[in-house]
Structure 1
Amino acid sequence: MSQVAGRKVMWDARKSNQGKGDMWAPCPFHQEKTASFHVDDRKGYYYCFGCHAKGDAISFVRETENVSFMEAVEILAREVGMQVPERDPKAQEKADRITRLAEVMEQAVQHFRLQLKTAGAAEARDYLARRGLSEAAQERWEIGFAPDAWQGLWDHLKAKSVEDDLILGAGLAKPSQKGGRPYDTFRGRIIFPIRDARGRCIAFGGRAMDPGDNAKYLNSPETELFDKGRSLFNVRAAREAAGKGQPLVVAEGYMDVIALSEAGYTGAVAPLGTAVTETQLQMLWRIAPEPLVALDGDTAGLRAAMRLIDLALPLLEAGRSLRFSIMPPGQDPDDVIRSGGSGAMQKLLDQAQPMVSLLWRRETEGKNFDSPERKAALDKALREAISKIQDPSLRGHYGEEIKRLRWDLFGTARQAQKPRGSGQGRGAWQRRGEPQGPTPGAKQSALAAQSGEVEQRLRESVILTGLLVQPQLLDRFEPELDDLSCTTPDHEALRRAILRHATAEDPPSAVAGELGTDPLETLMAQGHIRVIPALRADADPDETQACIAEEFAKIAASLGAEHEVREAILDIESLADEGLTWRLTQAAEARRAAQKGHEEEEIDFETAPNGAKINRSERKALDALVDGIAFSKPHRTPR
C-alpha cells in the first residue's frame, strides 16, 4: 500500500516507521500541512484522520486517478507485470442484461409512485396515514400503489417500447395460462421498492388492500436481479448507519423497518417474507458483529427466534453473535413505537438477551424437571445444541453459562447451612476447635483467587515490566503482546498503551504520559518481578528476551490445557474413550514441559561470582581436573 500511495504523497520521515510499514504523510485528498494520512502496510489500508478517506490500494488508485474499478485493477496489474484476463463475452452480455432489467425496474418505481397520487389510491393513502407515514416519509421510502387492473403496468411499459422479455424477466408480469396477454404481478396493493446494497431496485413488496386476499404480503418472484434468500430490505441505508455507530436491528416486515427508521433506528433491515437464511446471516455479520433481532411477541415470532438460533450456532465465532429483543405479546416493533414512541423501543433493545439465554429458555420454558430422567433429557438437549458450536473457546464459555443457569434452576431448593454464630454480633459463642472464618483481607488476597488466574497475572507483570524496561524488545514480541488477554484492567490498559507507543522514541515515558505514573509504580512495586534480568545493573538483553519468551510460552501452555479441560467437560459423556484421555494427557504434558524449563535450569546451572551461569557437571569436571593437577605437581624446596 505504501508503494501505491508513495507516488502521490511525501512521507513524513519523523513520524513514519518504514520497517513496520507504518507510514504518515499529508493527505492527498484534502489540503493540509500536518501528516494525518496514515498507511498500514501490514493491514493493506489507508485512512486520513482529517477527511476520513479510507480504503485499499484499488480504491486509492480509483480516487486519485478518477478511474473505474476495472481500470484501477488493470493499472496495478501492469505495474507488477500481471496480465488481466479478457472479459468473458457471455459475462459481459449477462451484465448488460442485468443493467437493462434494473432500468425497467426504475421505470416501474416511477409508475407506482405516480399511481399513489391518483384518485383511485385514496384508500391506500388513508391506510398509510393511519400507520403514521407522512407524505415526506412516503417519498423517502418511494412507496407506490398498483391499481387493481390486470395490465396497468404492462400497458405503461409497452407504451415506452419496453420489450416483453424484459418485463417478464424483471418479474413485473406473468404469462397467461389461457393464451391471453401477460398480466401484472402486483394488483390492488401498496408497493414497497426493494433495493440492493448498490441502490438498484431489484424487486417489489406489495401489501394487499383487500382484507380477504389470501396473500397479505407479496414479493416479486425470483429473477436474474432478485434472490430472496440473499437480499435484505433497507440493506444499503442500514450498512451506512451501522458504519456510523447505529445498532443493526433485524425486524420481520417492511412496516417494522420503516417505523424503526422513522423513529431514529436507521440501521434496520428485514428478510423478505421468509426465515433468515445462512447467506442473510453472513450479510448481517458483515455489517455488524452483533445484530439485534427484534421479533414479534407472538408464537410465530418466538418460533422464528428458535429457528434462527439453530441456524446461527454452527456459525458463531468470538465477537460474532446475535442478541434477541422480544416484543410484548401481540405487538411488533411498529406497534411498540406507535404506542410508546422511540423510548419504549429503546428500553426493549437495551434488554436484549444473548443467544445462550434464549437457548436456555427454549429448552426449559413450560417444562417440569421433577425426575432424574427429565433432567438428563435437558442435559442431552443442551449438550447437543452446544456441540454445534465450532469454536472450542466459545463452546466452553457456553458450557460454563449453561452450568450456571442449571445451578440456578436446580440449586434453589438446596438451602445452604447458615454459618455457626452468624447474626449474633461480635463476641458470639463459638465451639472450641471450630475453624475461624476468613478475614476480609484474606478474602481479597491473591491466595483466595483462582490459582490459574493468579499465576497468569504474575507472568503478565513480568512480561509488561520487561518490555517497559527494555523497549527495544517490542519488535520481537509485538504479535504475542497483541494476542495476550490480560486478567486485570490495569494490565490491559498497560498492554494497549505499550502497543500504541511501540514506535515512540521513549515508550516508557509515552506510556507514563498517557496513563500516569501510578500504574507503572504499582507494577514495579511487585516483589516477584525481580526475576527479570533487565532489572540488574549488568542486564543482558538476551536474558531478558529469553525470560519474556518463557513467560509467553507458559501462559500459552496453561491456556491450552484449560481449553482442553473445558472441551473434555462438554465431551465427557459422549466421547469417554481413549482419545479423550490422550488429549488431556498431551495438554498436561505440554503444560508440564513449559513449566519445568526454569526449574531444570536452576538445577543444572549455578551462578559464578561474576554473574555468569556455569553448568554444574562441567564445574565438577573442572574441579576434578584442577585437583588432579595439584596432586601430581612435584614438591620443590624453596631456595
Structure 2
Amino acid sequence: MTLTPAFLDELRARTSLSTLIGRTIKVQKAGREYKACCPFHNEKTPSFTINDEKGFYHCFGCGAHGDAIRWMTDQRGLPFMEAVRELAQAAGLDVPAPDPRAAHRAEQAKGLHDVMAAAQSFFEDQLGGIDGGDARQYLIQRGIGDATRRAFGFGYSPDSRGKLKTALRDFGEPMLVETGLLIDPDGAEADGEKARKRESYDRFRGRLMLPIRDIRGRIIAFGGRILGAGEPKYLNSPDTPLFDKGRTLYNIDRASPASRHSGRVLVVEGYMDVIALAQAGFGEAVAPLGTALTEHQIERLWKMAQVPILCFDGDAAGQKAAVRAAMRALPLLRPGYSLAFATLPAGQDPDDLVRASGPAAFEAVLDRAEPLVDRLWNHECAAAPLDTPEQRAALKQRLSAITDSIGHGDVRAHYVHMFRERYDALFFARPGFAAQPRQSQGGGARAGWQRDRRGNWKAPLPPATGDARAIGATGLEARLLRAVVASLLRHPDQIAVHREALSALKVADPALAQLLAAMISASFRKETVETIALLTIWGQGDLYNMAKGMLRADTFTFTPHRKEADAGRARRDLDEAIRVMAQGPELEAALAEATRRASEELSEETFAEQQRVRQLKAEHDRRLAELVQSEDII
C-alpha cells in the first residue's frame, strides 16, 4: 500500500501529540510546550519536550526524536502500517484502501485469527481440566508460577485425534487445516497416515501448548512440548497465511515494549528460556522458532535495539548457532547496528542459570557480552592451528572472506582495519610498537600505508596512546579545527560520515569540545542532515549562539554547487584535515617515547626509530601548514 505525503501530513495534523503521549507517560504543560521524563531512558529531571504546534517530540538527554507515527513505532513497537491505522482510526480518517486482492486477504486473515483465538481458549480449558493434570505438574516442576502461566497463555492439547476438531467444527475443516490446527491426510505432510481412514485429525496431541503471537498480540501459531518420551520434543505450527516462522520471533509482542525501557533485546534459543527469563525479570527476551536466526528476524531485532544480545546455550551446538547468526548478519551490517554475544557457562542454558544462580548471575553474563567483531576474530583464531606460515595465511583468507561479506562500505573498511591490526599484532608486532611495513623494491600497496593526494606513499602512524595531548593547543591546529567544525555545521550530513574519527578527538577548547560533542550526538537523528534542523534542536542557548558564530568562520570550500571534480577534492581535503588533526597529538607522544628510549639505551634500532618518528612528525607539521595556508580554506 502506498500512502501519499498529503495523507500522512493530514494524519499528523489531526493527532494531538501531547494527548497521544500522555496516555502512556505523565506530561506537564511548560509554556507553549509539554515536558515529561523521557520514556526511552531513565531520568529524574524531565528533558523530554513535546511540541504540538510543530508536531514532534525531542529528548535533550538521549536524543530521541520523532512525530506521532514514530512514537507508535518506537515506543509501542508497532509496524508502520499498524501505527498509521491506529492513529487514523482515532483521528476519524480512512486509510486508503488496498487493492481488492489485498482486501480479500485481510478479510480471510481476520477469520483465521478468530480460529486461532478459539483454539487458544480450548487449550486453556483443557489445561485446567482432568486431562491437563500431567501438564500442570510439569509446570510446577519447571518452577512456572500461575501469573507466568496466565501471562504466556499456557494450555494443553489432549491426546486425541479429534477433540479440537470437534470443539471448533463450526469454523469448518478447511479453515482449521489452513491454520495448521488439523492435518489433512491427503496433504504431503501426512504420508504415514494414508493407510488410515482419510479424515483430517488434530495436529497437536498430548502436548503442553504455547500460543505464538505477532507484534500486535494476535495468536498466529502454536508451539507444543511433548510430555514424557517421544519425538519431536517441540512441535510448531506449519507456515500458514498467518505464520511465517522465518519472520516471527516468539514473545515479540511482550518483548518489544519491554526493550524500550531496558534499552536492549535478548535472543535465546527456546520458549522455556524466554519464559524463565521473563519470570526472573528479563521481559525483553525473544526466541527464533526452531530455525537459525534469519535475515528478517535480525532486521526485526534491530527495530527494537541497535545491538541485540544473542545468548544461546553454552554447549557446542549453541555456540555454532551463534556463529551462524553472526555470519548471516554480515551482509546486513550498517553504521550503529550490530550483534553482541553472551556466553553461558558450559552445559547451561538461560533457564538453568537463573534457576540455579538467580537473575544476578545472568546479568553478569550479559555484562560480559562480546561485540560481533570479537566473536568473529576469536572463532576464526580457534578454528585451526596457527603454527605454520600456511596456517596463518589461511587465517588471513578466512578473515578476508568475512570482510568481503559485509555489504556496507564504511563498516567493511573498519572491519578490514581492525582485523589487520589484530593480525599484525599477533604475528608481526615487536615490543613497544606494532610492526611497520617496509617498502619493497617494486613499490605498490603496503598494509597500513596510504597515498596522499599527490600520489606519494605515507608510512603508517604509531598506535594511539592514552596520554596524547588535546587538539588545538597550537595556532595552526586551532584554526584548522575551527575550519573543519564550521564546514561540518554547513553540511551536517557529513558529521555521520566522520563520526568515529571526530568522536576520538580530544579538543583543548572546552566550548568547542562541547559543540563538537553535540554535533556528533545530533548526527544520529535523520532530521539533522540540514543546518536549520541542527540549530532548531539546540534552541536559543549557548550551543546555538556558538554555532551561528562558527558559520561565519573560515571553512573549507566543501560546497555541493561546485563542479563534481572540485567537490570530490574538497571531500578528500576534509577527510585529510580530520586525519591530520587526530595524528598530531599521537605523533608527539610517539616521538617523546622514542626519544626516551634512545636516551636510556642508545642503539642503532632505537636511534633509527627516533629518526623515523621525527620524520613522520615533520611531514605532519608540513601538511598541517599546507592545509591551513592553502586555498582550501577561504
Deviation at 1:71, TM superposition (A): 6.1
The equivalent position to 1:373 in structure 2, one of 383, 390, 409, is 390
Secondary structure class of the residue paired with 1:295:
coil
Secondary structure class of the residue paired with 2:343:
strand
Specify the alignment match of 1:46 in structure 2. 56
Specify the alignment match of 1:386 in structure 2. 403
Please tell me whether the aligned partners of residues 69 and 84 of structure 2 are also in contact (alpha carbons under 8 angstroms): no
Specify the alignment match of 1:198 in structure 2. 216
Specify the alignment match of 1:36 in structure 2. 33
Deviation at 1:120, TM superposition (A): 2.2
The equivalent position to 2:379 in structure 1, one of 362, 366, 369, is 362
Q: Distance in 2 between matches of 1:247 and 1:365?
A: 29
Specify the alignment match of 1:345 in structure 2. 362
Deviation at 1:122, TM superposition (A): 1.7
Summarize deviations over 1:423-481 as a string: whole Å, max 9, x none: xxxxxxxxxxxxxxxxxxx995659x9x9x999876324455x69xxxxx96x455556
The 5 A counterparts of 1:242-281 are 242-281=259-298
The 5 A counterparts of 1:134-149 are 134-149=145-160
Q: Distance in 2 between matches of 1:8 and 1:118?
A: 48
TM-score in terms of structure 2 length:
0.66
Counterpart code for 1:383: S
Change (3 A) 1:163 1:104: same
Summarize deviations over 1:554-590 as a string: whole Å, max 9, x none: 653427999xxxxxxxxxxxxxxxxxxxxxxxxxxxx
Please tell me whether the aligned partners of residues 199 and 236 of structure 1 are also in contact (alpha carbons under 8 angstroms): yes
Q: Distance in 1 between matches of 2:238 and 2:477?
A: 58
Structure 1 position 313 matched with structure 2 position 310: no
Deviation at 1:336, TM superposition (A): 0.7
Q: Distance in 2 between matches of 1:88 and 1:509?
A: 50
The equivalent position to 1:162 in structure 2, one of 142, 165, 171, is 171
Specify the alignment match of 2:594 in structure 1. none
Secondary structure class of the residue paired with 1:314:
helix
Structure showing greater Rg: 1
Q: Distance in 2 between matches of 1:231 and 1:459?
A: 51
Which consecutive residues of structure 2, in runs of 5 or more, have no partner in the other structure? 1-7, 35-48, 74-82, 186-193, 434-464, 523-532, 560-566, 581-621
Please tell me whether the aligned partners of residues 147 and 189 of structure 1 are also in contact (alpha carbons under 8 angstroms): yes
Specify the alignment match of 1:558 in structure 2. 576
Specify the alignment match of 1:173 in structure 2. 182
Q: Distance in 1 between matches of 2:338 and 2:10?
A: 37
Change (3 A) 1:507 1:483: farther
Please tell me whether the aligned partners of residues 46 and 56 of structure 1 are also in contact (alpha carbons under 8 angstroms): no
Secondary structure class of the residue paired with 1:226:
coil
Change (3 A) 1:194 1:443: closer
Summarize deviations over 1:211-249 as a string: whole Å, max 9, x none: 2x1200000111111111111100111111112234200
Q: Distance in 2 between matches of 1:64 and 1:308?
A: 34
Please tell me whether the aligned partners of residues 292 and 322 of structure 1 are also in contact (alpha carbons under 8 angstroms): yes
Change (3 A) 1:184 1:547: closer
Q: Report how many aligned residue pairs link the two structures.
A: 486
Change (3 A) 1:110 1:66: same
The equivalent position to 2:515 in structure 1, one of 490, 494, 512, is 494
Which consecutive residues of structure 1, in runs of 5 or more, have no partner in the other structure? 10-22, 75-83, 418-441, 468-472, 513-519, 521-533, 536-540, 563-591, 604-612, 614-639
Specify the alignment match of 2:480 in structure 1. 459
Deviation at 1:482, TM superposition (A): 7.0
Change (3 A) 1:344 1:388: same
Relative CO higher for 1 or 2, CA cutoff 8 Å, sep ≥ 6?
Answer: 2
The 5 A counterparts of 1:532-571 are 544=554, 553=571, 556-558=574-576
Secondary structure class of the residue paired with 1:327:
coil
The equivalent position to 2:89 in structure 1, one of 58, 68, 75, is 68
Specify the alignment match of 2:427 in structure 1. 410
Secondary structure class of the residue paired with 2:407:
coil
Specify the alignment match of 1:186 in structure 2. 204
Counterpart code for 2:385: N
Specify the alignment match of 2:163 in structure 1. 152
Q: Distance in 2 between matches of 1:24 and 1:141?
A: 33
CA RMSD, 1 decimal: 4.7
The 5 A counterparts of 1:74-113 are 87-113=98-124
Task: Give the % identical residues.
Answer: 31
Secondary structure class of the residue paired with 1:205:
strand
TM-score in terms of structure 1 length:
0.65
Please tell me whether the aligned partners of residues 26 and 36 of structure 1 are also in contact (alpha carbons under 8 angstroms): no
The equivalent position to 2:144 in structure 1, one of 123, 133, 150, is 133
Secondary structure class of the residue paired with 1:319:
coil
Secondary structure class of the residue paired with 2:144:
coil
Please tell me whether the aligned partners of residues 4 and 57 of structure 1 are also in contact (alpha carbons under 8 angstroms): no
Deviation at 1:502, TM superposition (A): 3.3
Change (3 A) 1:392 1:247: same
Deviation at 1:32, TM superposition (A): 3.7
The 5 A counterparts of 1:571-582 are none
Summarize deviations over 1:332-354 as a string: whole Å, max 9, x none: 11001111111010010111111
The equivalent position to 1:116 in structure 2, one of 98, 123, 127, is 127
Q: Distance in 1 between matches of 2:208 and 2:198?
A: 26
The 5 A counterparts of 1:206-217 are 206-211=224-229, 213-217=230-234
Specify the alignment match of 2:346 in structure 1. 329
Deviation at 1:251, TM superposition (A): 0.5
Deviation at 1:391, TM superposition (A): 2.2
Please tell me whether the aligned partners of residues 45 and 57 of structure 1 are also in contact (alpha carbons under 8 angstroms): no
Deviation at 1:65, TM superposition (A): 11
Secondary structure class of the residue paired with 1:329:
coil
Please tell me whether the aligned partners of residues 149 and 188 of structure 1 are also in contact (alpha carbons under 8 angstroms): yes
Change (3 A) 1:492 1:182: farther
Deviation at 1:57, TM superposition (A): 9.7
Change (3 A) 1:484 1:560: closer
